[in-house]
Structure 1
C-alpha cells in the first residue's frame, strides 16, 4: 500500500482488524473474531424475539420490539457486508492503492491528500461519537444504580432494561450478566456501524478526489502559450494531456460503478430496514411523549431518531458530492479553451462531457439530497399510516 495512503487509512484498518473484517486477515484468530461477533449480534436479536414465545401477542409489543430489533439488524447487516463481500472489499482496497500510483504532480498529490485527510478526520470523529454513544448507553442502563449512590432512598431503585429481552432465567438474579450482554452487543453494533460507514465514506471521498484531479487536468490541459508551439507538436501535447484527464476520470467512474454494482442488493436491504426502523422509532417516540413519562426511553428513542436522520443525510450527501464533482468536471470542460483544440480533440471532450455527470444508483434509488428527502418522506408516510391505524 502507498505509504501516504496507509497513513490516512490506518484508523479504519486497525478497527477492521479488531472486528475481524480486514479482508487480508486469514488467520485462525480472525475466524474466531467473526464467529464471536456474529454470535453476539445473533443472540441479542434472538433474545428480543423470544419475547413472542413467553408473552401474549400484542401489537404494541410487536412494534416496540421491532423498533429495537431493526436498528440492531441494520448494524448486523453492515457488519456482514465485509464478510459476505470480502473479495469486493479487497478489490476496492486494490483500486484505492492503484489510484494513488496514478498521481505524480505535486498539486494532484495535494488534492488526493486533502480528501484523504478529510476521510481520516471523519473516521476520528465517528470513533469519538462511538465512544460517546457507548458511554451514554451504559450510563442510561445503570442510571438507577448511579442514583442509589448519589441520591439514596430508603429502598433501592429497580433496574430496568432499555432493550426488552427474554433469557428464560431470573432476570433480577442475573441482571449484571444481562447488562453485560446488552452493553457488549450495543458496543459492537455501534463500532461496526461507524467503522464500516467511515470506510465507505473514505471510498466516496477518494472518488471525489479523482474527479477533482480530472477537473484540474482538464483546466490546465489547454493554455494560451501553446499557440506558439507548432501544430503537430501542439496537437500531440493536447492529446496527451487530455488522455491523462480521461484516464483518471475513467478510473473514478469504474471505482464508483464497482462499489454500486457489488453492494446494490445489500444497500437496498439496508434502505428498506432503515426506513422501516425510522418509522417505528417515530411511532414509539410519539407514544412515549404523549402517554408515558419514561425519560430514559424518551432519550433513547430521540437519540435513535437523530441517528437515523444523520446517517441518511450523510449517506445521501456523499452521493450528492460525487454528482457535484462530476458536474464540476463538466463545467471545467465547458468553460475551458476547447475551441483551441483540433476537431477530433473537441469530439473527445464532448464525449467526456456526456460521461461527466455521475449518479450513485442503488437499484431504482439515487443517492442525493433529493434521495434523502424521499427517504424521510417515505418514513414519515409509513409512520402516519401506522399511527392512524392505531387510533
Structure 2
C-alpha cells in the first residue's frame, strides 16, 4: 500500500498533477501545463515591471510593487526546484512507498506511520486553505471601490484598484475586469507553486519522523523482565533498529540535499519582502484599506516562513528523540556486545538532522525568530531613509 492509496496527501498529488510535475504524468501533458502556468505568471510580471519602471523613485508606489514581485520570485524558486529535480522526486516517492510496504506490517508500527501521515495530511490541508484564502481575500479586496460605487454612489465613479499595480499600456479602467481576471490567475498560480512545494516537504519530513519513531518502538522490545533473552535475540532487535535508524538518517540527508538551495533563496527574499512590506505599511498608515491589505500580505509571508521552519524543527526533534529512546531501553542490562552496538547508535543519535538554507543557515524556530527580528531591523533602516 502506498501513502497515496492509503488516502493521505491526495491533495499533494493533485497539486503535482495540476502543475505538471507528477513523475508518472505523460511528458506531453506535463510540458503543456508547465508552459501554460509559467506563461500566465510571466505575462503578469511584464506589466508589473512596466509600472515599477514608471513610478521608480516614488516610495508609496514602488514598494508595494516590489513586495508583490518578491512573492512571485519565491514562487518561481520553489517551482523550479520541482522541475529541476524530477529524478530526486521519483527517488523520494519510491523510498516512501517502499517503506510503507516494508514496515507497515506490525500493529504498533502501522499505527505510528498512519498517525504521522494523517497529521501531516491535516497540516498541509490547513496550510493550503489558509494560503488560498489569503490570496482570494487579497485579490477581492481590490473590488472595494466597485462595491462602494454600488452601495454608496458618488457623483463620480471611484478609481478602480487592482490586486497589484500593473501597467498594460492601455486604458486599464476600461479593461478592468479582464485585467483583474489576469491578476487573479497569476495569484492562484503563485499560491499553487508555493503550496505544492511546501506540502511535499512536509510529507517527506513526516515520513522521516515516523521512521525515527519506529526506532524507539523496536528498541522497546528490549524492555522486558524475561531473564531468558539470548544475546542473539538482543542483537536481532538492535540490528533492526540500526537499519531503520540508518534509513531515517539517509532520507533526512536526501531531503536536505533536495531543499537546501531553494531554502537559501526563499529565506533571503522572504526576509527582504517582509521588511519593505512593513515599511510600506507605515508610509500608508492613513490609508486603512491599504494597511489592512499589506498586513494580510505580511501575515501570509510570515505564515509561509513559519511553515518552512516547522518541518525542519520537527526533523530536529524526532531525530533527537532517538537518543532518549535508546537511553530508556534498559541498555545496562544487555550483554556486552549488545551494549557496544547500542553505544554506536547512541553516539550517532547525538547528531540531530536538520534542514538548512544554502547549507550555511540551520532552519529552526530559534533562527526563525532571529529572521523576523532581522526583518524588523531592515524595516527600521528603510524607515530612517524616508
Shorter-normalised TM range: over 0.9
Pairing of 1:136-155 with structure 2 (within 5 A) = 136-155=137-156
Matches within 5 A, 1:258-297: 258-289=254-285, 292-293=286-287, 295-297=288-290
In structure 2, what is the Cα distance between the partners aligned to 1:343 and 1:43? 68
**Structure 2, unpaired ranges of 5+:** none
Distance 1:269 1:358 in 2: 24
Q: Provide the residue aligned with 1:112 in structure 2.
A: 113
Cα distance change, pair 42–194 in 1 and its aligned pair in 2 (3 A): same
2:2 aligned with 1:8: no
Match of 2:179 in 1: 178
1:352 aligns with 2:348: no
Answer whether contact 1:23 1:86 (CA < 8 A) is retained: yes
CA distance in 2, matches of 1:265, 1:24: 25
**Stretch moving more, 262-271 or 153-162:** 153-162
Map of 1:213 onto structure 2: 214
The Cα of 1:57 is off from its aligned counterpart by: 4.0
Encode CA deviations 1:111-154: one digit per residue, 9 max, x unaligned: 01001011221232223224422431342122222223333334
Residues in 2 aligned to 1:5 and 1:370: alpha-carbon distance in whole angstroms? 37
Determine helix, strand or coil for the equivalent of 1:142: helix
CA distance in 2, matches of 1:326, 1:122: 20
**Cα drift, residue 316 of structure 1:** 1.8
Contact in 2 for aligned 1:63/1:280 (Cα 8 Å): yes
Alignment of 1:326-345 (within 5 A): 326-345=319-338
1:1-391 matched pairs, under 5 angstroms? 2=2, 6-55=6-55, 57-58=57-58, 61-103=61-103, 104-225=105-226, 227-229=227-229, 234-289=230-285, 292-293=286-287, 295-356=288-349, 357-362=351-356, 363-390=359-386
In 2: Cα distance, 1:256 partner to 1:318 partner: 11
Are 1:144 and 1:158, in contact at CA under 8 Å, matched by a contact in 2? yes
Contact 1:222 1:238 in 2 (8 A): no
- Alignment partners' CA distance in 2, 1:208 and 1:168: 52
| Superimposed CA distance per residue, residues 31-79 of structure 1 (whole angstroms, 9 cap, x where no aligned partner) | 1110011112222222211224444544554433211110121122222
Alpha-carbon distance in structure 2 between the residues aligned to 1:170 and 1:106: 66
Aligned residues: 382
Structure 2 CA distance for aligned equivalents of residues 314 and 298 of structure 1: 24
Q: State the 1:169 CA deviation.
A: 1.4
CA distance in 1, matches of 2:320, 2:56: 57
The TM-score, its normalising length taken from structure 2, stands at 0.93
Greater shift, 180-189 or 17-26, is seen at 17-26
CA RMSD of aligned residues (A): 1.9
Unaligned runs of 5+ in 1: none
- Cα distance change on mapping 1:4 and 1:108 into 2, 3 Å: farther
- Distance in 2 separating the partners of 1:140 and 1:375: 29
What TM-score do the two structures reach when normalised by structure 1? Answer: 0.92
Residue 25 of structure 1 and its aligned partner are, at CA, apart by 1.3
Residue 347 (structure 1) shift? 1.8
Judged with a 3 Å threshold, the aligned counterparts in structure 2 of structure 1 residues 309 and 130 are, in CA distance, closer, same or farther, namely: closer
Q: Distance in 1 between matches of 2:58 and 2:148?
A: 33
4+ runs deviating over 6 angstroms = none
